[in-house]
Amino acid sequence: MLIASKSSNIKSIADLKGKRVSVGAPKSGTELQARAILKASGMSYDDLGKVEYLPFGQSVELIKNRQIDATVQSAGLGVASIKDLANSVEVVIVEIPESIIEKLGAPYVSATIPANTYQGVGQDTKTAGIVNFLITSQ
């Protein structure tokens, strides 16, 4: 999920150009997802104004304090850090178009964040999801 402060005027992946973005901890699943989404969109970290490698909680605080514009978050629906952010400042969840998801290929799948999952986001939003598995012993 790509989430931005409404005041950043980020409405699409292309709008990330020149912006301050947190992409998750280095080499984490979130950071790898951020790289993949940018690459499929014809972009790289070089197109961003500033790249921060921060975990969810710190990213949320920096958006609240207007120190970054957006963050990539790889988590389930209703994640507490994003709920906290949406309850504190106006946010937008940036759509990841089907064409980008198709370029990403496996393990990425098309997913939808339902309207009103987060305060102030009143419409369904397309995003890239990753299927998770739980493996146990018998």
**Domains of the chain with CATH codes:** 2-130 (3.40.190.10)
- The CA-CA-CA angle for residues 66, 123, 72, to 5°, reads 40
For the entire predicted model, the pTM comes to 0.87
Q: Using one digit for the tens of pLDDT, what is the confidence trace for 77-112?
A: 888 888 999 999 999 999 999 999 999 988 899 999
Contact between residue 93 and residue 1 where contact means Cβ atoms under 8 Å apart: yes
Look-up of token digits 């504190």: 88
State the number of CA atoms in the 13 A half-sphere of 46 facing the CB.
Answer: 4
| pLDDT tens digits for range 121-132 | 989 999 998 887
Residue type, 59: S
